Amino acid sequence: MHNNSTFAGLGISPITLLALEQKGFTEPTPIQAEVIPKVLTSDVDIIAKARTGTGKTAAFGIPLLELCEESAGFVQSLILTPTRELALQVCNEIESFRGKRRHQLAPVYGGQAIRPQIMALKKNPAIVVGTPGRVLDHVRGKRLNLSQLKFLVLDEADEMLDMGFQEDLEAILSSANEERRTLLFSATMPDRLRKIAQGYMKNTVTIQVKAETKEENRTERIAYEVHASDKPDALARILEFNPDFFGIIFCRTKMDTDELARNLQQRGFVSEALHGDLSQAQREKILRWFKNSQRGALVATDVAARGIDISNLTHVVNYAVPDTAEALTHRIGRTARAGKTGIAITLVSPSDFSRFRRMERETGFTFSRKALPTFKEVIAARRSSLKERVSALLGKTVPDDYIKLAEELTQLSTPEYVIGALLQDFYRDTLSGTSGRDIEPLAAKGGQDEKRGGRGGSRDRKRGFSPRGKSFGNRAKSGGKPTPGKSSNKSSKKK
């Protein structure tokens, strides 16, 4: 009988327990507590519904290290991931659990010279981690032999299907040892994935940990109702109101990400765009900046953000409402990880209402409807942020030259007047509330800028949109039918 509240109670060896202790892992996450004993003590295939950030890498990585031999002379485990970034991350994470073991691991993925990968595979590593396309290249090139494979892990399987890897996945599954065990991890289970599981897995146990709801409850979900033309201003208002913002802002298209990132930079916010047109070197540079800075906004498309695992994100913003409930689930799952809290914000324009409400039903997520921070509230947030910055500076050493200059300035007038004059000069009107405006609520604008014809605007005015803190109610018809693929960043394009 296992005690699932501790790693020792899961049947893990002392070598692995020591490695986990050195990493600071004190107790298993719910997905680890369920999966590890089943892999170690049974012969079942496993389907685990688990999003990124729940500890699923350790859930399959630890038992693979326990069950694979150090020098078997053949590849015993294959882990497939949707992106090269995730492949490297998974490989590094499993290596950190290895301890004093001599298991060899080999990452194989596209975008890297193939020769070093061939050399690594010739050493017959115990575990191979790779992307489907490059793994299949090695299989077909007779460089990767899966005939004696013991374990095949599909990590973020739904993402792999969304990225067009279904044929590659099925080819790999068909060529792998039929006696292998298959472990499938996915945040969602679309029909295509269920069919693959039914066709290539046997004696299957499904794990869906109830505790994941607690993870989701650590995410505050907010929906702001705004017209499409007001989205840039609404986003700026949100960023100003949250000076410690460190998050990902999701757009629909590559063009939208570039336009929005430039718009934010022009407004003085720290931001970068991430999309598929960037070279691998540019992508790595941006991600390195974002991870190291732990601040600012990464404006990205769903495709560009796949496989990125960045800790400590405070916010996720759906600048454009996604097309599917699965995409919404993945986006929200990027914050509130490892026991921390986070905020998921969605900007919903009238044309999004029906689709957004449908996604709420499908995902089970509830978004609280709130009004955007008023300009006065933003001014208060700016002042509070300035006070915190000054308070932090007071504990630091100030060079004598600055102290002398301060003494000279305070001779000109009272210290209060001097500081006030400097604040006015450096911050202009941004701290006084003499400039700026509140974004008009939808009811006031009548829906006209959605350009869905005068009929939609008049109906919006009659019916009215939700006031502060209220629900969308039964107003799906007023927004018209959703328009997939249509950019919502209209104001940026006009500029």
Burial class (CB in 10 A: 0-12, 13-18, 19+), 487: middle
Q: How far apart are CA 336 and CA 339, in angstroms?
A: 7
Q: What is the pLDDT of residue 181?
A: 97
Q: What is the pLDDT of residue 434?
A: 58
Same domain as 387, residue 362: no
Burial class (CB in 10 A: 0-12, 13-18, 19+), 287: middle
Same domain as 131, residue 64: yes
Structural domain total, the chain: 3
Q: Are 366 and 360 in contact (CB under 8 A)?
A: yes
With a CB cutoff of 8 Å and minimum separation 6, the contacts of 428 are: 435
Q: Last residue of a domain, which of 408, 427, 446?
A: 427
Same domain as 423, residue 366: no
Q: What is the pLDDT of residue 433?
A: 62
Same domain as 401, residue 271: no
347 located within any domain: yes
Same domain as 195, residue 118: yes
Q: Last residue of a domain, which of 147, 180, 211?
A: 211
Q: How far apart are CA 185 and CA 3, in angstroms?
A: 23
Q: What is the pLDDT of residue 493?
A: 41
Q: What is the pLDDT of residue 378?
A: 83
1 located within any domain: no
**CB-CB neighbours of 493 under 10 Å:** 10
Same domain as 224, residue 303: yes
Same domain as 231, residue 134: no
DSSP bridge partners of 130? 80, 108
65 located within any domain: yes
Same domain as 329, residue 476: yes
With a CB cutoff of 8 Å and minimum separation 6, the contacts of 200 are: 170, 173, 174, 182
Residues of the chain with pLDDT under 50: 1, 211-215, 446-495
DSSP bridge partners of 330? none
Q: How far apart are CA 172 and CA 184, in angstroms?
A: 14
Q: Last residue of a domain, which of 195, 211, 227?
A: 211
Q: Are 384 and 238 in contact (CB under 8 A)?
A: no
Same domain as 227, residue 162: no
Structural domain boundaries, residue 421: 375-427
Same domain as 398, residue 358: no
Same domain as 314, residue 187: no
Task: Return the amino acid letter for 190.
Answer: P
Same domain as 167, residue 82: yes
Q: What is the pLDDT of residue 135?
A: 97
Query: What CATH number did the domain enclosing 78 receive?
Result: 3.40.50.300
